[in-house]
Structure 1
Amino acid sequence: MTVTRGDEDTDMGACSGSGPGSGAEPGNRPEDEPGSGVLIAFGQQLKLLRLRAGLDRTEFGKRVGYAAQSIASFEQGRRIPQPEFIDKADAVLDAGGLLIALKKEVERAQYPPFFRDAAQLEKKAVALSVYGVYAIPGLLQTAEYARAVFQMRRPLLDDDAIERGLSGRLARQEIYDRHPTPLLSFVVEEEALRRPVGGRAVLLGQLEQLLLIGRKRNVEIQVMPTDREDHGALGGPFTLIDTVQGQRIAYAEAQGDSRLYTGQAKVRQLEARYGIIRSQALTPRESSEFVQKLLGEK
C-alpha cells in the first residue's frame, strides 16, 4: 500500500484486509499465499507446543473445541485461527502468552497485504463514508455474495484463499456491533444492485440484507440511479475514514493496488465528491423503497 501525504508518495509496504469498497480480493502474489509469513510461524509454534504437551491433534482439538482437521490446517498455515482459538490454545498448551503475542499479526493476515493498514483504520473508525461502484461494498455483503465475488476472481483463487478472504470480509462486519457505534454512510451504484453476482437467489438475499442493515440507526444507504445525468464521482470507488483522533483519511483501490491519502488537498477533494454524490443519489428512504422495488422485480 502507498500512503500519500500531499504530493508525496511514501511506500508503507504490505498492508492487510479486503477493501472497504467492494472489497479487494486476496491477491496471487507470493506474500498473499495462505501458507506464508506469520501464518507459517504461528503454525510451527503451535505444533511445537502441542508436541511438547504430548497431545495428538485429536486430543488437542477436543480440549480447544476444534476438529483435528482444523488443527492441521492451523499448523500448516493454510487456515487463519480465530482469536478465541488462540486464547484457548495458549491456555491449554501452557504457552505463557507465546501464541497470544502473535494474535494481532495473525488477525492482520486475514487480509491481502495491500489492505492491512486500511483494515486497522476501519476497525477503529468513528465514521466511514463508502462509495461502491462495481459490486456491493464488502461491509454490506452476505456470506453467499462475498463467496461468489471471491470465486469469480481471475486468475482463480484456490479454496483456502477463498475461505481466508471470506473469513476476513465477514470479520470486518463486526463493526456493526461495536461500542461506541460508528456512523456508516454508503452510496452504491444502481448497476451494482442489479448485477446478479452468484445468481438470482444470492442477489435476492443480498438485497434483503441491504434493507436490514439500512434500518440500523447508525447506517445510511443511498442508491445512485443509473439515469442521473449529473454524477460527481466517476473516478471509481473510494472510502473516507474518520479516526478517533479526529483525522480524516481517504482510501482508494483499483486492480489490487491501493492508497491511503492523508494530505489535506486530496482528502478534501474526495470529501467534496462524496458530498456531491450524496446530494445526487436517492435519499435513504427513497433508496430503501428502490431496493424493495428491485426485490419485487426478481
Structure 2
Amino acid sequence: MTVEDKRSVSMRIFGDLLRTLREGRGITLDAVAAHTGYSKSQTVKIECGERIASTAFIERAEQLLGSPGVLRAVAPHLSREKLPVGYGEYADEEARALSLGAYDSHVVNGLLQTEACMRAVFGARCPALEEDEVERWTEDRLARQSLIVRRPVCMLSFVLEEWVLRRPTGGRAVMGAQLSHLVEVGRRRNVQIQVMPARYEAHAGLDGPFTLLENPDRQLLAYAEGQVGGLLTDDRKRVSLLHQRYGMIRAQALTPEDSAKLIEQIAGEL
C-alpha cells in the first residue's frame, strides 16, 4: 500500500491549507512543532495528510498562524479512513451530539481513555496494526475527547463493567492512571460515570456494548460496534429498544458517587 492510499482527500486538503497558511506567513515547520507541542515529523505528517490533527493542535496552530477559525472550519470534515467500518459516520454524529450515553463491557470507553491506555488497546489488536495506524487511531481518539469540554455542553453518561476496571490494561501503572482519570472526569458537571458491579448474576446489558446519541435536530441515534465493524441507526424501533435498555442498565448500576468510591478502591488494590 502506498502512502497515497493511506490518505483521505479531506486530510490532504487540511494539510495543504495548513502548509499554505504557514508558508504565506513565513513560519517554519520547527516553529509550528514547538508551538503545538508536536514533533517536526508529526507536523510533517499532518501537512502531508497522513495524520489527523487533534483539537489542541488546531487551536494552537491557528493562534500561531494568526488565522482564528480557519482550520477549525475544515476540521469537522476530516475523513477517518482506515478506521473501523461504519465508524466515520458515527464519529461525525458524536462530534455534534447534544447528549451521549454509552454502556461498555470490554474496555474503557474511548472518550474516557488516557493516551497510554489507548496505545495499549490498539497495540493488542490482531492482526497487529502498523505504527502509523496506531498513531492515527490514537490522534483521532484524543481529538474526539474534546466533546467532554465542548461548548455548547454535551451531557455524557457512561456505564462500565467492573471487570473492565480490574483488567490491568497496559500494566498496573497505566491502569492506575486510567482509574484516576475516570474519577477526575467523573467530577465534571456534564459527565456521569457508573459501574456495573461484577457480583450481579445478570443485568439488562448482557447483549453487549452500545452507544446512544441525541443530535442538534433532537434526533435519537444508536451505534453498536463489533468485530467486523459498526452500525449507526436511526430506526425508531431499534433506538427505542436500546433507550429502554440503557435506562434499566443505569438503574441497575451503582450511583456515580458509589462508582467513584469503587474505582478508587480498585486503584488502591493495584
Bin the TM-score by the shorter chain.
Answer: 0.7 to 0.9
Matched with 2:188 is 216
* Superposed counterparts of 1:1-298, under 5 Å: 34-40=6-12, 43=15, 60-62=28-30, 64-65=32-33, 68-81=40-53, 82-84=57-59, 87=62, 103-106=75-78, 108=80, 112=84, 114-298=86-270
Distance 1:207 1:32, change over 3 A: farther
TM-score by length of 2: 0.82
2:28 partner amino acid: F
1:135 partner amino acid: V
The whole-number CA distance in structure 2 between the counterparts of 1:90 and 1:248 is 39
More helix by share: 2
The whole-number CA distance in structure 2 between the counterparts of 1:215 and 1:101 is 31
- The answer (yes or no) to whether the contact 1:110–1:168 under 8 Å persists in 2 is no
The whole-number CA distance in structure 2 between the counterparts of 1:287 and 1:118 is 28
The whole-number CA distance in structure 2 between the counterparts of 1:35 and 1:101 is 20
The whole-number CA distance in structure 2 between the counterparts of 1:176 and 1:32 is 33
Tell me by how many angstroms 1:189 deviates.
0.6
1:127 partner amino acid: S
Can you list the C-alpha shifts for 1:170-214, whole angstroms capped at 9, x where unaligned?
A: 111111212232211111111111111100111111111111111
The whole-number CA distance in structure 2 between the counterparts of 1:42 and 1:216 is 32
Structure 2 gap segments, 5+ residues each: none
Can you list the C-alpha shifts for 1:3-52, whole angstroms capped at 9, x where unaligned?
A: xxxxxxxxxxxxxxxxxxxxxxxxxx9999644543345556777x59x9
Sequence identity percentage: 38
TM-score by length of 1: 0.75
The whole-number CA distance in structure 1 between the counterparts of 2:166 and 2:113 is 14
Tell me by how many angstroms 1:276 deviates.
1.2
The whole-number CA distance in structure 2 between the counterparts of 1:80 and 1:261 is 26
Distance 1:189 1:244, change over 3 A: same
The whole-number CA distance in structure 1 between the counterparts of 2:72 and 2:259 is 44
SS at match of 2:28: helix
- The answer (yes or no) to whether the contact 2:97–2:215 under 8 Å persists in 1 is yes
Larger RCO, structures 1/2 (Cα 8 Å, 6+ apart): 1
SS at match of 1:239: strand
1:190 partner amino acid: E
Distance 1:199 1:234, change over 3 A: same
- The answer (yes or no) to whether the contact 1:241–1:249 under 8 Å persists in 2 is yes
Distance 1:63 1:224, change over 3 A: closer
SS at match of 1:129: strand
- The answer (yes or no) to whether the contact 1:111–1:168 under 8 Å persists in 2 is no
Moved over 6 A (4+): 29-33, 44-47, 88-92
SS at match of 1:193: helix
Tell me by how many angstroms 1:279 deviates.
1.6
Tell me by how many angstroms 1:138 deviates.
0.7
Tell me by how many angstroms 1:237 deviates.
0.6
1:266 partner amino acid: R
The whole-number CA distance in structure 2 between the counterparts of 1:238 and 1:31 is 34
- The answer (yes or no) to whether the contact 1:86–1:103 under 8 Å persists in 2 is no
Can you list the C-alpha shifts for 1:70-113, whole angstroms capped at 9, x where unaligned?
A: 45323443323443477579879xxxx8x887544336559555
How many pairs were matched up?
A: 261
